[in-house]
Structure 1
Amino acid sequence: MLRQYELVERVKAYDPDADEAMLNHAYVYTVQKHGSQKRASGDPYFSHPVEVAGLMTDLKLDQQTIATALLHDTVEDTLTTIDDIKANFGPEIARLVDGVTKLSKIEQMPEDERAAENLRKFLLAMSEDIRVLLVKLGDRLHNMRTLHFIKNEDKRRRIARETIDIYAPLAERIGMYEYMREMQALAFEHLEPDAFATISGRLAQIREQEGGQVDAIALAIKQALAEAGLKVEVQGREKQPYSIWRKMAERHVSFDQITDIFAFRVLCEKPEDCYLALGTLHTTWQFIPGRFKDYISTPKNNGYRSLHTALIYSGSMRVEVQIRTQEMHRTNHFGLAAHWAYKQHDEPDGQVAWLRDLIEIVDASHDPEELLENTRLAIYQDRIFAFSPKGALFQLPKGATPVDFAFAVHTDLGAQTIGAKINGRHMPLRTPLANGDVVEIIKGGDAEPQLSWLGFVVTGKARAAIRRAVRHKEREEVAELGAKLYDQIAARTPAKVGKKALREALKRLDMEEEEDLMYAIGAAKISDHEVMEALVPGSTADFEDNTDDRHNRQPISIRGLKPGNAYTLADCCHPVPGDRIVGLRRKGESVEVHNIQCLSLASGIDNDWLDLDWGDRSGVAIGRLVVTLYDRRGTIAEMANIVARNHADVRSLEQVRVENPFATYEIDVEVQDLAHLTRLLSALRASDAVAQAERV
């Protein structure tokens, strides 16, 4: 553990003007506040924040960040408050400590929701100050280094899974590859202990058997470049066990089939030397087609810059080579932190422009599962490069489409997309883009995102924006239906209803906006009776005891509809629970639920069809029957008695024709389900008063 004077000396080495007294105060403060607390390892708890502060000095971060690292657990794990931090260290450090504190684990939540809520708080805190991310990554890295001291295996695995799913990808996205690799390696050891042990063992065998071959290859590369007049440093390294395991899983190959266990790094003095070195290596050894990548002319989103190539050395050995300058190398190790100079009111660094997309995903995500899915899409995929017609460069995941491109340019452009040209040719919106494609988006003023796009877009930003737009559109349609129903309800009240009555009704119903009420009516979240009473209190008193039973019964639930979607049971076929059903969705109307055998379905062929099923919630439905009675006194009464004895209710009765000696009626009956309706039909057919009974 770093001693107090050692930590201060580290900071003063790269920031001679640092406030030594403030740093000493922060060190002593965290030691005092954590007191006798112990870590799982048995070490004093304050050793953890001190080590995190040491990691921050490796990144040469400012004194406020070092103090934040020292203090980051005091609010969560001691009686210290944010106000205490503010009083002792000022508002800036208090704000940073508060940002890190907000990322604390939410142990009581289900696993996915806990991870999603941590991620949500993480991204929102990052949006306020990127130093919060840097301290939290240092905190997580040190916790991973001591994870083996935790005795509970489930807890170790949960922390390791969260690290490999969220923290390591975030470290990668800001270019902190050293943090990413170490987090992945430590998490892999706990998540796949057998695979880790096997691969580590094989790597140890190779190190024993290679007999200095790595040094020999590095020397050969250096000599070839020296003969070309280039002064370089060459390093050889082996792949991490986690990288090898991922490659084995992705390519479905064994360890013996991995031919690029070792890789080499060439460090040049100037960027132009990198390209000279590349040309020399390609003329000295055969390069492997398809393995060359130029991240110097087109850096990754996180600022990573390097040339990548693969060579065939000495006839058969495949060798990976990365070529970069010393400055690029430092940036590639520590990313944003390597050249970070904080200015309080500056815009975020260009390397983290992607952060705005992540914040947009946080705002758009509807539930924890969706948030995790979209954010992982945004931070953890291989990239391609595509251009706008004006030459602007956009990095996208492999498999991205013109719709993904449009949303990457701007959310409004994505929403208005109606077509696209790729390299000057009109192409379908679902076409995957390739490296170097020039994409021109064709937009329409009245266009809107389509639900079908979710079938092919791959970026988290696009998926989040489409889902948000679709939910908004559905809400508008339900509210529009509710407005029509509201007019009918208002017409039944004993007094004329105006704007004032509506405003008072909103207050009584504890609703903010008129649209909220219309949506509640359209989505059947509120009954006609409740709306009438809110509009004109006491208007339903005269028939309180005789209120239509339909208002007191739960609506039938239907699976396959999104939450809040309004529906109506179609009048043409009157489906009841037990029928096989399908939904028709027309613009501005609720979803119509039809019996699958309904003849009128043919007229809805151009509308959205929804595969539906009856839910678990019981209710009542209207079945329509055509009943032919003998035209004599008492037959209608007999029919009504049969309906009542079978615990059904007559809702309407209409005579449709008279053909002596018969009279035919259409009768709507309220039943529980198909079995109930079938029993009623059997009882009617058994009666001497009934000549024929069929369901419509």
Structure 2
Amino acid sequence: MESGQTGTPVVAATAESHLTDVFFAPLAQHLAEYLDAADIARIRTAFEFGAQAHAGQTRKSGEPYISHPIAVAHILADLRMDEATLVAAILHDVVEDTDIVHDQIVAEFGEEVAHLVDGVSKLAQIRFKSKAEAQAANFRKMMMAMVEDVRVILIKLADRLHNMRTLGVMRPDKRRRIARETLDIYTPIANRLGLNAIRHELEDLGFASLHPLRHRILSEAVRRARGNRKEIVAGIQERFEQRFAHERLTADTLAREKRPYSIYRKMQSKHLSFKEVFDVFAVRVLVDSVDDCYRALGIVHNLYKPLPGRFKDYIAIPKANGYQSLHTILFGPHGIPLEVQIRTHEMHQFAESGIAAHWLYKAQGDHGSVTQTRAREWLRDLLEIQQKAGNPQEFLESVKVDLFPDEVYVFTPMGEIIELPRRATAVDFAYAIHTDVGNTCVACKIDRRFAPLSTPLESGQTVEVITAPGAVPNPSWLSFVVTARARANIRAYLKHLQDAEAIRLGHRLLAKAMVAEGCDIEELDEARIDKILREYHQESFNDLLREIGLGNRMAPLVVRLLKAEAGKLDPDEILREGGGKQAPVIISGTEGLVVSFAGCCHPVPGDAVVGFLSTGRGIVVHRQGCSNASDAGEHPERWLAVEWEAEPTGEYQSQISIQANNVRGGLARIAAAVSDAGSDIDDVRFDDRDVNLTIIDITVRVTDRIHLARVMRAIKQLRDVVRVSRH
């Protein structure tokens, strides 16, 4: 292929003219509705640049490739997007799919356009361990670019919409994969940004590709139901218009039909047949002001009785994406429920275009809409989640959780409304207020009564969070929080906590290993430390200590290398086993995340124990009689001598196996005996041997071996208990 000076393919003048007539001319006509001639000329320059770059490339349908970016630009023109966005849309694939590089985009069209193109482009140059990891990394890159400039996601959504419109040429398996990704990721993003027109089309196209048979059956059912019900809705619409005219209220009424995917989701979530979904048709009422919305509501409620409990005021309390409207369900003619949505014309525009409506209204100086505010709040939250996330997949998981908010609305003690996803808890509420409030919360009051932090919140409740200066996040919170912000902050704190604990443990292990070799950790000089850091590819001494504490490096081997560097040991002997008996590591029970207790044997203070340095976890403590600990022949360098502190603190889990007669109330009596002995039951499992005898395995919390013996003795004294033993 011949190339010009810029390195882009040269296209014959006649072919270029044909492409312009077929593809650009209709777009230019569309753009002339709201852009000036200079902007359209620049967009034409981008078209010519893109047509040259994609020359010779075709889509699977056989069309010239340039047809795709032009179609994306058409979708964005429907949203009245600015000139820079349209230029970037036309060029969004040139860096990824042609020889064009980022610097050429900058030179021809400027930094702004280049930044948008770069945000949409995939991470094609980086190799990933798995497809899932690549998708997660691409998603994080796209979302972070969106935080900087929301136009990135608008281009990406338009790109996805056109790809979905032309998905029929793909293999069935690829169609299903792309449709699933669309429904899982892109439609929720469109919803969160208030782009309902794009969301609805993506949902229906995704549904048709993922479940073609279900889509066809539902579409046919709607078509069959359309005749009779449409006449009823038309009659209701006429009555509305007559009454509005009588009350001198200017209003537009629009009858609408529910989309197949909306019907399908309702049937799934509420376990309904199609015949039970009555609100297939609805009426939308558009008025001039908020006051008129409530006047219109009163008028329709006077015409038809409202269905109790089905009125929703999204004007006073907008949805997470800024959507505003009044929703009510009426008892229509023949007892058929009818959904009515009432909103202003401006609310309707934002409901369809969402955050993209910013560009439509910015000429009027409208920068403070609810949709804009909510969308930007979410983008700021995304930035915080990204900063706290450990890896791209964790970020994707967090954002996906946040993309499906079935909202509840609760109040602060001062009356401020806080919006949270359904099943959110007081901890989610605390993090929604402020990260510091979440990190230091210790208790909560719901409607002025103390309640567990894990209690799911309900709309209308007043929530008060009680904090304490020295409090820290609890790892168990991760089992019940639902918001991405809470999860990201808790994980970030625990990672920082684990690092600090691992450094302290690594220092202890290295100090003890040096004592065993006749050295002192305080004698280490900077030159020897620097040399060993280079050997182990670590940035700092703390990084090396963290690696030792997490079990990724063995302290005795590090000491031997240090001695070799000092000339006290032959380098050939560095990996020699043995080397003197180390003093035991003292376990207090409060070490936190880098010292854990094995679930196979549940050691408690008073047991003879050994430690195993597990990679990435630190020390795992076993009882000496444990089958896992008895096999110390494997990795002998990882087994450590450990001992309990003289007065360990805290509670420890232990398992007790109980053989008992199968009688009514037996478990209740066992639970009472455990409680009387000053312990709690964490878990219970049953194994019925026969009709007369049952095996009950319980996990209890005890302070030490003596406390455990007291609990077992209390159980054994029960009349129906045959045998008690420790696992």
- Checking the alignment, whether the CA contact within 8 Å between 1:106 and 1:118 is kept in structure 2 is no
User: What SS does the aligned partner of 1:286 have?
Assistant: coil
Kindly indicate whether residue 373 of structure 2 is the aligned counterpart of residue 350 of structure 1: yes
Deviations 1:592-621 (A, max 9, x none): 999xxx9x99x989446499xxxxxxxxxx
Note if contact 1:50-1:70 (Cα within 8 Å) is conserved in structure 2.
yes
Do structure 1's residue 575 and structure 2's residue 599 form an aligned pair?
Answer: no
1:211–1:273: structure 2 CA closer, same or farther, 3 Å change rule?
Answer: closer
Is residue 388 from structure 1 mapped to residue 412 from structure 2 by the alignment? yes
Identity %: 39
1:46 and 2:46 are equivalent in the alignment? no
5 Å-filtered alignment, 1:286-685, equals 286-340=305-359, 349-352=372-375, 353-367=377-391, 370-491=394-515, 492=517, 496-536=523-563, 537=565, 538-541=567-570, 544=573, 547-548=576-577, 564-570=616-622, 573-577=624-628, 606-607=650-651, 609=653
Question: Residues of 2 paired with 1:101 and 1:73: CA distance?
Answer: 7
The code of the aligned residue for 1:577 comes to: N
Q: Residue type of the partner of 2:212?
A: P
C-alpha distance in 2 between matches for 1:104 and 1:318: 52
Structure 1 partner of 2:286:
267
Cα 1:448–1:591 shift into 2, 3 Å? farther
Post-superposition shift, 1:370? 3.6
CA–CA separation in structure 2 for the residues paired with 1:209 and 1:104: 54
Provide the C-alpha distance between the structure 2 equivalents of 1:512 and 1:225, rounded to a whole number of angstroms.
74
Which amino acid is 2:457 matched to? L
Tell me by how many angstroms 1:475 deviates: 2.6
Q: How does 1:93-242 map to 2 (within 5 A)?
A: 93-102=113-122, 110-150=130-170, 152-210=171-229, 212-242=231-261
Which moves more between the two structures, 539-548 or 450-459? Answer: 539-548
Deviations along 1:624-647, whole A, 9 cap, x unmatched? xxxxxxxxxxxxxxxxxxxxxxxx
Partner of 1:682: none
CA-to-aligned-CA distance 1:635-678 (integer Å, 9 cap, x gap) = xxxxxxxxxxxxxxxxxxxxxxxxxxxxxxxxxxxxxxxxxxxx
Cα distance, 1:428 vs structure 2: 1.8
Q: Is the 8 A contact 2:552 2:615 kept in 1?
A: no
Contact 2:510–2:556, Cα closer than 8 Å, also in 1: no
Q: Structure 1's 80 and 543: CA in aligned 2 closer, same or farther, altered over 3 A?
A: closer
Deviation of 1:337 (Å) = 0.4
Contact preservation (8 Å) 2:215, 2:260: yes
CA–CA separation in structure 2 for the residues paired with 1:323 and 1:8: 36
Aligned residues of 1:493 and 1:532 also touching (Cα < 8 A): no
Shift of 1:32: 1.3
- Displacement of 1:479 in angstroms is 1.9
3-state SS of 1:338 partner: helix
Question: Separation in 1 of the partners of 2:27 and 2:127?
Answer: 33
| Secondary structure at 2:453 match in 1 | coil
Q: Decide whether aligned partners of structure 1 residues 349 and 325 sit closer, same or farther in structure 2, where only a CA change above 3 A counts.
A: closer
Determine the C-alpha separation between the residues in 1 that align with 2:157 and 2:231: 36
Provide the residue aligned with 1:651 in structure 2. Answer: none
Change (3 A) 1:562 1:259: farther
How far apart in 2 are the matches of 1:165 and 1:319? 30
Structure 1 residue identity aligned to 2:31: V
Count residues with an aligned counterpart.
Answer: 590
Asked if the contact 2:551–2:614 (Cα under 8 Å) also holds between the matched residues in 1, the reply is no
1:545: how far off?
7.9
* Separation in 2, partners of 1:18, 1:409: 47
Structure 1 residues 605 and 530: alpha-carbon distance in aligned structure 2, compared to 1, 3 A threshold: closer
The residue aligned with 1:278 is 297
Q: TM-score, normalised by structure 2?
A: 0.75
| Alpha-carbon distance in structure 1 between the residues aligned to 2:422 and 2:639 | 37
The one-letter code of the counterpart of 1:527 is: M
Q: Structure 1 pair 543/77, CA: closer, same or farther in 2 (3 Å)?
A: closer
CA shift, 1:207, in A, is 1.6
- The SS at the match of 1:577 is helix
Structure 2: which amino acid aligns with 1:275? Y
Give the conservation status (yes or no) of the 8 Å contact 2:598–2:621. no
Residue 4 in structure 1 maps to residue 30 in structure 2: no
Distance in 2 (alpha carbons) for counterparts of 1:238 and 1:558? 59
Contact preservation (8 Å) 1:523, 1:566: yes
Structure 1 residue ranges without an equivalent (≥5):
552-556, 581-589, 612-696
Q: Is the 8 A contact 1:178 1:334 kept in 2?
A: yes
SS in 2 for 1:54: helix
2:52 matches 1:32: yes
In structure 2, the gaps of 5 or more residues are 1-20, 581-596, 601-612, 632-637, 656-727
**1:544, CA displacement in angstroms?**
1.1
The alignment partner of 2:616 has SS state of coil
Pairwise CA distance, 1:455: 2.2
Q: CA shift at 1:534, angstroms? A: 4.4
Could you tell me whether the CA contact under 8 Å between 2:514 and 2:556 is conserved in 1?
no
Partner residue of 2:79? Answer: 59
Q: Residues 463, 592 of structure 1: CA spacing in aligned structure 2 closer, same or farther, 3 A cutoff? A: farther
Q: Is the 8 A contact 1:475 1:564 kept in 2?
A: no
Any idea what the Cα deviations from partners look like across 1:324-369, whole Å, max 9, x if unmatched? 01111010001010123789xx999423211222233333334555
**Matched-pair contact (CA < 8 Å) for 2:445–2:463:** yes
Question: 1:393 and 1:102, CA in 2 relative to 1: closer, same or farther beyond 3 A?
Answer: farther
Q: CA RMSD in A?
A: 3.4
Q: Contact (CA 8 Å) 1:96, 1:131: kept in 2 or not?
A: yes
Q: State the SS of the aligned residue for 2:340.
A: strand
The alpha-carbon deviation at position 312 of structure 1 amounts to: 0.5
* TM-superposed deviation, 1:224: 2.6
Judge conservation of contact 2:384–2:485 (CA < 8 Å) in 1. yes
Q: 1:260 and 1:283, CA in 2 relative to 1: closer, same or farther beyond 3 A?
A: same
SS for the counterpart of 1:267 is strand
Conservation of the 8 A alpha-carbon contact between 1:71 and 1:97: yes
Structure 1 residues 178 and 502, CA gap change in structure 2 (3 angstroms): same
Measure how far apart 1:121 and its partner are.
Answer: 1.5
Matched residue, 1:665 = none
Shift of 1:305: 0.8
Supply the distance in 2 between the matched residues of 1:610 and 1:470 (Cα, whole angstroms): 25
SS of equivalent residue, structure 1 residue 234: strand
Question: Could you tell me how far apart the structure 2 residues matched to 1:175 and 1:191 are?
Answer: 24
Gap change, CA 1:568 and 1:4, over 3 Å in 2: closer
State the shift of 1:472 in Å: 2.5
- 1:432-468: per-residue Cα shift (whole Å, max 9, x none)? 2222323222212221111111222111221222222
- C-alpha change, 1:545 and 1:533, in structure 2 (3 Å) is closer
Deviation per CA, 1:25-69, whole angstroms, max 9, x where unpaired?
Answer: 111111111112111111111011011111111111111001001
**2:417 and 2:348 mapped to 1: Cα distance?**
23
Name the structure 2 match of 1:79: 99
The separation in 1 between residues aligned to 2:614 and 2:38, in whole angstroms, is 57
Q: 1:2 to 1:213 in 2, by over 3 A?
A: farther
* Contact 1:569 1:593 (8 Å CA) reproduced: no
